[in-house]
Chains A and B, each alone.
Chain A
Amino acid sequence: MSKYLYYPGCSMEGSGKAYHNSLMPVCEKIGLELQEIDDWNCCGATEYLGINKIPAYALIGRNLALAEAQSNGAQDIVAPCSACYLNLTKIDSYMAKKNGVDELINDALSAGGLSYEPGQLGIHHLLDLIVYEIGLDTVKEKVVRPLTGLRVAPYIGCMAPRYDYAKRWSDSEHPLELDWLLGALGAEVVDYPLKTHCCGGHMPQIGPDTAYELIHRLVDYAEEVKTDIMVAVCPMCQMNIDAYQNETNQHLGTKHKMPIVFFTQLMGLAFGMRERDLGFGSELVSAKEAIQKIGSEVPKKKRKKKDKFALPMPHPLGNGILKNGTNGKELILPTEGRARGGRA
């Protein structure tokens, strides 16, 4: 069991309850022991940073300070919510610059008898922790009910991979970690080019027209490529697409009906856990129909006979093969500049 400090964030107690309920048994299964940070507070989400910086930084700094105090030295912190994760890494990196911001934050924290030395904690998103620290091999071992037949759209959102302060992701614009994980669960992963496009963030509250348009784009393309279910790693993404889909339909005259669940819920299913223990049923666009497809016969892809005129594609970057023993960060790429074998 590897032990991590767990920073749930507010969503886990409200809109993201399905995420919390599913990640708990899943983490236990793959050997992640989560120790919740005692007395944690709100990270300020996307809003507070826009109002008053230093108090907003201090709010986040307090969580880091608490984590450091409770860490016993060697632990890493894990946040399941992308907004929390981004805020924690952002403030850690701002403080590490030692340009005065660290002093202002520590000054504020000292009122509560706390302080934080940046760089002391590894800060992870739950997804990167599973892919890089636990490893896809371990995940594969636990799969008892592969998600065969389920076409999933990996929607990672913008806040986990951008800006990548902690340098954890394969790419900021087109990260493939979620694709790999869902692939390891046996699902059929669609190529989803909008994987880091905006879900609207807090726009449903302050500019609903914009939010509807953004939600429509994401769902429309998922439907276009015959997705059964979208998969989120962030409570805000999940909520916007799930909760505002109906309003989007009313507003734009569309007929979207695209379920979206958290990746941990699908991991739980693949590990053989029961749907009701994984928070299924709390989503507003029901995932029931999609889930029933698991195990369905996948029509064998006819191997497209290669057209004799077709030109070869360049080697893909990040083709999903993770190198062992390098913490999974390095991808095996065909040796640069040397010829590959193959038949025309």
Chain B
Amino acid sequence: MNTPKERIGVYICHCGTNISAVVDVEDVAQWAANKLEHKGVVIARDHKFMCSSLGQELVENDIKELGLTRVVVAACSPHLHEKTFRTACERAGLNPYLCELVSIREQVSWVHSDKVVATQKSKAIVSSGVERLIYHEALEQLSVPINPATLVVGGGIAGIQATLELADAGSPVYLVEREPSIGGHMAQFDKTFPTLDCSACILTPKMVDVGIHPNITLLTWAEVEQVNGYVGNFDVTVRQKARKVITDLCTGCGICIEKCPKNVLDDIYEVGMNYRKAVYTPFPQAVPNYPVMDLDNCIYFDTGKCKACEKFCPTNAIDFEQEDEMLKFQVGNIILATGFDLFDARKMSNYGYGRLENVFNSLEFERMCNASGPTEGEIVLRDGVTTPKAVGIIHCVGSRDKSHNAYCSSICCMQSLKFAHLVEERTGAHVYNFYIDIRTPGKGYDEFYNRIVEEGTHFVRGKVAEVTNAARQPDEKKKLIIQVEDTLIGKQRRIPVDMVILSAGLEPRHDAKEVAKLFGISCSADGWYIEKHPKLDPVATMTDGVYIAGCVQGPKDIPASIAQGAAAAARVQGKIQQGEMLMEPIRASIIEEQCSGCRICNDLCPYNAILYHDATMTSEINAALCQGCGTCIAACPAGAVIGTSYSNEQVLAQIEGLLMDVSV
């Protein structure tokens, strides 16, 4: 037998009793010392807590005293402590990438109960770690400079907060918003729960700040087209849609809007409840205050005649020849705050939205309550004049429902309570809230619930079966009847009302998947963007340099959105202050001679890290962009892609190790 060329140390952790209760840790250590000696194991030890400073010192001393060249630690998942032991090795002068952490907690002790089998499996896992480790190479981390500018996508409250935090800290920010104005959903609301303060009053000062801040480049009526590059150095291309208004000349006087003869139903800001013009700003406090022209509805673009706006503009700011413009710039980090879409309540046809005229969804009702909305804040039926005498508010529409979205949309309970208050305050009508559970876990939220109960709102626990206009009794004629099982009294009830408000749930944006692909991040099965860690890293993503904030990560209310916006900004600002950053050296590379240029890997790469060179007809991997996921390695038909730490030799050796006979 050849003398092994490496000197390997093996360390088995008890993890208190987490591992040692199921695995005979001493036996594993002893076995490794004896049976893996021919592979180069010179020492095998066990310790109560390997991650403690004593455990780490054990490794460090052995490296120094026994001249170890490789280290295997069998403990918890590498997600938790890989870095700990790599750092320990580095302190003792060993390249950190010559340390391997194998999991005998998540993969063994937490999932097995039979001690004999668990111990054998632990041995196999240690053996596989040793086999694989032999092929490890000493790797160096890559250092990349960080561009101090940041791209924030989405000008709702989360994006606004992130933008202002960064700009106030002195960093340049590009804020890109697809609509003509920033403000997002919050700009549509009238009151905010639980304090009932005016939404616009607290939002517009922030919008104005964004508009005038010297560190902020505000790009509204614009969409991100392309993102290349990697953390610290993203190349961004933004399409600035043609406003047909020269912003340098426009004073925002509004004469063009006044003179435009075309009325268009506003499906975005007014959610189909009111009209705007073909040249418009969505609302009076819009930032920026320059109008945009809606080309689909402009009479001139339809018939070639009109140009009323141009004729009346006092500063000649209307430009019918203006084209879309592609803006290119570089940023170091990206924050995505693209928000949510409202669940389409028409999908629950038993509630009659879209068919029964006095069924409203929550955003429609928000607009109705708003003093600048279609009814100037008056709560009336669809005819625009009749005040309702009884109103039903249905919770959980499209949420907590296996047929639609299984998740709780988290804001609807509080929003429905707010609606109940507004209806009672402004109309004196009887209000019925139909709920499955009342969920009011925020600060001051349950107090608000109690207040609404005391105000006299009726609460009916049960999922509404149907909203119908088919009357059975004389008192149901000309009413909407809510058919519901009241689960507190155990009876079916039919409650006639004049108006029904559906508290529709929150859904990911309809184009969330495409946007995720554009930025190289992933969505959950529901379509929300996935954070790096649900508890410990809620605003980062698995792609370095791309952060998320607000409802794009999951349903949340205004305070939580703002908190995430600020948190994402803090993370980015931290990166900016480092000036440069070290990148993990685990990545793939292509052996040019073996690459046939088939380009299969190009489209598969979730990080857009693979470039194709027309000249050599081969693909190349951008080392700074590659995250080492291994997709291309598996996909390459020629075997031309190799991954550091995950070469074929290593994987095969690992399998060989796992298959070792550990029973003797």
Minimal beta-carbon separation of A211 from chain B (angstroms): 16
Q: A317-B346, A341-B264 are in contact. List 11 more A-B contacts (CB 8 A).
A: A173-B349, A174-B350, A193-B468, A193-B470, A217-B470, A307-B385, A309-B383, A311-B383, A311-B384, A339-B296, A344-B275
A224 / chain B contacts, CB cutoff of 8 Å? 470-471
Q: Is the CB of B296 within 8 A of A341?
A: yes
A48 at the interface (CB under 8 A from B): no
Query: Which of A174, A311, A338, A343 has a CB less than 8 Å from the CB of B374?
Result: A311
The reply to whether A338 and B361 contact each other, CB–CB distance below 8 Å, is: no
Q: Which residue on chain A has the smallest CB distance to residue B350?
A: A173
Contact A309 B384 (CB under 8 A): yes
Q: Within 8 Å CB of A308, what residues of B?
A: 384
Q: CB within 8 Å of A: which residues of B?
A: 262-268, 272-276, 294, 296-297, 341, 344, 346-350, 352-355, 357, 361, 364, 368, 374-375, 382-385, 466, 468-472, 510
- Interface flag for A316 (CB, 8 Å): yes
A214 to chain B, nearest CB (A): 11
B273/A312 in contact, CB under 8 A: yes
B355 touches A174 (CB 8 A): yes
A103: interface (CB < 8 Å): no
Residues of chain A within 8 A (CB-CB) of B352 are 193
Q: Which residue of A is nearest B276, CB measured?
A: A339
Chain B residues closer than 8 Å to A302, beta-carbon distance: none
20 residue pairs from A and B, CB less than 8 Å apart: A173-B350, A174-B350, A217-B470, A220-B472, A221-B471, A224-B471, A308-B384, A310-B382, A311-B273, A312-B272, A312-B274, A313-B382, A314-B354, A314-B364, A315-B346, A316-B355, A341-B262, A341-B264, A341-B296, A342-B265
Encode contact with B along A306-344: 1 for CB under 8 Å, 0 otherwise.
Answer: 011111111111000000000000000000111111111
In the bound complex, how far is the Cα of B294 from the Cα of A171, in angstroms?
34
Question: Which of B262, B357, B471 lies in contact with A313, CB distance below 8 A?
Answer: B357
Residues of B within 8 A of A343 (CB): 263
Whether B267 lies near A344 (C-beta < 8 A) is: no
Most central of B265, B274, B276, B350 by chain A CB within 10 Å: B265
A342 contacts which chain B residues (CB < 8 A)?
263-265, 275
- How many residues of A are in contact with the other chain, CB < 8 A? 30
Q: A312-B272, A337-B510, A342-B264 are in contact. Are A307 and B383 (CB under 8 A)?
A: yes
Residue from B267, B344, B368 within 8 A of A340 (CB atoms): B267
List A contacts of B368 (CB < 8 A). 311
The distance from the CB of A231 to the nearest CB of chain B, in whole angstroms, is 17
A174 contacts which chain B residues (CB < 8 A)? 349-350, 355
Chain B residues, CB < 8 A from A194: 468, 470
**Complex-state Cα separation, A315 to B346, whole angstroms:** 9
Smallest CB–CB gap between B363 and chain A, Å?
A: 10
Question: 3 nearest interchain CB pairs?
Answer: A309-B384, A317-B346, A174-B349
**Residues in chain A near residue B355, CB distance under 8 A:** 174, 191, 316
> CA of A311 to CA of B297 in the docked complex: distance in angstroms?
20
Q: How far is the CB of A317 from chain B (nearest CB, A)?
A: 4
Tell me the nearest residue of chain B to A315, going by C-beta. B354
Do residues B297 and A336 form an inter-chain contact, with CB atoms below 8 A? no
Known contacts being A337-B267, A341-B296, is A309 close to B346, with CB within 8 Å? no
CB of A193 within 8 A of CB of B469, answer yes
Q: Please, which residue of chain B has its CB at the minimum distance from the CB of A341?
A: B297
Chain B residue nearest to A218 (CB atoms) is B470
Main secondary structure of the interface of B (DSSP, over half): loop
Q: Check B384–A310 contact: CB distance below 8 A.
A: yes
Known: A173-B349, A342-B263. A317 touches B354 (CB 8 A): yes
Given A312-B272, A342-B263, A343-B263, does the pair A217, B472 have CB atoms closer than 8 Å? yes
**Chain A minimum-CB-distance residue to B298:** A341
Docked Cα-Cα span, A315 to B273, in Å, equals: 11
Contact A313 B354 (CB under 8 A): yes
In the complex the two chains form, what is the Cα distance from A343 to B349 in whole Å? 28
On chain A, the residues within 8 Å of B341 by CB distance are 337
Cα A332 to Cα B342 in complex, Å, equals 20
Q: Do the beta carbons of A171 and B349 come within 8 Å of each other?
A: yes
Closest to A338 in B: B267
Q: Name the residue of chain B whose CB is nearest to the CB of A225.
A: B470
Which chain A positions have C-beta within 8 A of B346?
A: 314-317
Q: Which of B274, B382, B471 has the most CB of A within 10 A?
A: B382
B664 smallest CB distance to A (angstroms): 42
For B469, the chain A residues whose CB sits under 8 A away are 193
Instruction: Kindly report which residue of chain A lies nearest to residue B367, judged by CB atoms.
Output: A311
* Chain B neighbourhood of A221, CB < 8 A: 470-471
* Complex interface: chain A residues within 8 A of B347 (CB): 317
Q: How far is the CA of A314 from the CA of B361 in the complex (A)?
A: 9
Task: List chain A residues, Cβ under 8 A from B466.
Answer: 173
B263 near A307 (CB under 8 angstroms)? no
CA distance A317 to B359 in the complex (A): 14
**CB-based contact B354/A340 at 8 Å:** no
Q: How far is the CA of A193 from the CA of B510 in the complex (A)?
A: 30
Minimum C-beta distance from B513 to chain A (A) = 15
CB pair A314–B353 under 8 Å, yes or no, is: yes
Contacts of A344 in B (CB 8 A): 263, 275
Contacts of B276 in A (CB 8 A): 339
Residues of chain B lying within 8 A (CB to CB) of residue A336: 510
Neighbouring A residues of B268 by C-beta, 8 Å: 337, 339
CB distance from B301 to the nearest CB of A (A): 12
CA distance A96 to B263 in the complex (A): 53
A318 to B608, CA, bound (A): 40
Among A217, A309, A315, A341, contact of B272 (Cβ-Cβ < 8 Å): A315
Least Cβ distance of A152 to chain B in Å?
17
Is the pair A317, B349 in contact by a Cβ cutoff of 8 Å?
A: yes
